[in-house]
Amino acid sequence: MTSHLPILDIQNLSKFYGAVRAVNDVSMHVNRGEIAGLIGPNGSGKSTFFDCTTGLAQPSAGKVVLDGQDITGWSLNRIAREGRMLRSFQNTVTFKALDVEENLIIAGQMFTFPSLASTFGLGRLSRSRINGLRERARELIKMAGLWDVRHQQAGNLSGGQQKLIQFASMLMPEPKIILLDEPMAGINPKIIERVVETIQYANKSLGVSFLVIEHNIDVVTSICQRVVVLDQGSKLVEGLPQDIIQDQRVREAYLGG
C-alpha cells in the first residue's frame, strides 16, 4: 500500500442518450485491495456506468481517476494497456477459434511488448517475451483448473470454462483493478464456487482490486466488502453488504416500489 488514495475514483459521472439520463451524477470509489460490489435492478445503469468507466463509451460528464491519474476520455485499449484496469463483458467472450493457451498469450502481449512496432519483431527478444508469456499463461491455466483443455479451442468449451478463460486472461497483464460485469450469470453452481475462489485468490495473493456487478446476492455478500446500489441511473445507497440487503429503499427499488 503505497497510498491511501483509492485505486479507482469516479466523480460525478453522467451519461445521457438524448433526453435519457442512463447514468446521472454518480460518484463512487474502490479502495486499494478492496472488492467492491455494484448492484441494482435491471436497467438501473450499471453496465453503462461500467462502459463509461472503462472507455468502451465516453461519459457525458464527470471524471474517472485511476490510481491518481485522470483517465477520462481514454479509449478502452489505452485504459487497459496503460492503466492496467481490465474489464469483463456480460456475455462471455473468448477468442473462440483459438486454443486456451493462445487466448491467454494474446491477453498478455500488449503488456509485455513496449510498443506497437515491437510486436512485428520475430527476433530472439520477441521469442523470449512470448516464451515468458507462455509460462505465465500455463501457471494461470493451472490455477483456473483448465490444464487438461489448454490445447482445445475456446469455442468448444462450456460457458463456465470460457468464463474461467476470460478471467485468467484478465490476470495475464498483472492488473491493478478488474471490473467484472455479472461474472456469475448463466453458469452452474460448481463453477460459481471456482470463480469465487479465483476472485479471492487474485485479490489476496495478487493484490488485485475488484469492482463487481452481480445479481447473485449470496455471492455479493460473501465476497464484497462494500456495495453501491444504483437505481434509475442514480446512486441510491452505499454501505456494507449485510446492511444493504436490509435497507428498505433497496428492497423497494428491486420490487419496483
Partner 1 sequence: MSLTDTAPQARRRDLRIPLAAVLIVVALAAPLIGTRYVTHSLIIALIFMLPAHGLNLLVGYTGLLSLAQAAFFGIGAYTAGLLAVHLNTPFYVNLIAAGLVSGAIALPLGIPALRLRSTSFVMCTLGFVIIGQAISKNWISLTRGDMGLSGIPKPYFELGPLSFAISGTTSFYYLALAVCVIGTLIAWALVRSPAGRNMVAIRENETLAESLGVPTWRYKLIVFMLSAAFAGVGGCLYAHYLTVVSPLTFQMYYSTTMLIIVLGGGAGMISGTVLGSLLFVGLTEALRVAPELRMIAYGFCLLVLVFWFKKGLAPLINRFWNAIGGSK
Partners of residue 9 on adjacent β-strands = 29, 65
Is there binding between residue 102 and partner 1 (CB under 8 A)?
A: yes
8 Å CB contact between 35 and 224: yes
The Cα 257–Cα 253 span in angstroms is: 6
Write the CB contacts of 122 (distance below 8 Å, at least 6 apart in sequence).
Answer: none
Stretch that binds partner 1, among 6-14, 108-116, 189-197, 211-219 (CB under 8 A): 108-116
Is there binding between residue 76 and partner 1 (CB under 8 A)?
A: yes
Give me the least distance between CB of 119 and partner 1, in Å please. Answer: 4
Among 64, 105, 184, 244, binds partner 1 (CB under 8 A): 105
The Cα 212–Cα 224 span in angstroms is: 8
How many beta carbons lie within 10 A of that of residue 3, not counting itself?
9
Identity of the residue, 4 or 120, whose beta carbon is nearer to partner 1 in the bound complex: 120
Q: Which residue do the cell numbers 474461467 mark?
A: 164
Is there binding between residue 74 and partner 1 (CB under 8 A)?
A: no
Stretch that binds partner 1, among 16-24, 74-82, 140-148, 249-257 (CB under 8 A): 74-82
Identity of the residue, 22 or 170, whose beta carbon is nearer to partner 1 in the bound complex: 170
Is there binding between residue 122 and partner 1 (CB under 8 A)?
A: yes
- Please give the order of strands across the beta sheet that includes 69-70: 20-30, 8-17, 61-66, 69-70
Is there binding between residue 119 and partner 1 (CB under 8 A)?
A: yes
Is there binding between residue 173 and partner 1 (CB under 8 A)?
A: yes
Site for partner 1 in 27-66 (CB under 8 A): 54, 56
Is there binding between residue 113 and partner 1 (CB under 8 A)?
A: yes
Stretch that binds partner 1, among 3-11, 16-24, 37-45, 84-92 (CB under 8 A): 84-92
Stretch that binds partner 1, among 60-68, 78-86, 141-149, 192-200 (CB under 8 A): 78-86
Strands 234-239 and 35-39: unpaired
Is there binding between residue 89 and partner 1 (CB under 8 A)?
A: yes
Is there binding between residue 116 and partner 1 (CB under 8 A)?
A: yes
Q: In 3-state terms, the chain is what percent helix, strand and coil (to 5)? A: 45, 25, 35
Is there binding between residue 156 and partner 1 (CB under 8 A)?
A: no
Is there binding between residue 98 and partner 1 (CB under 8 A)?
A: yes
Phi, psi of 28 (to 5 degrees): -160, 165
Burial class (CB in 10 A: 0-12, 13-18, 19+), 176: middle
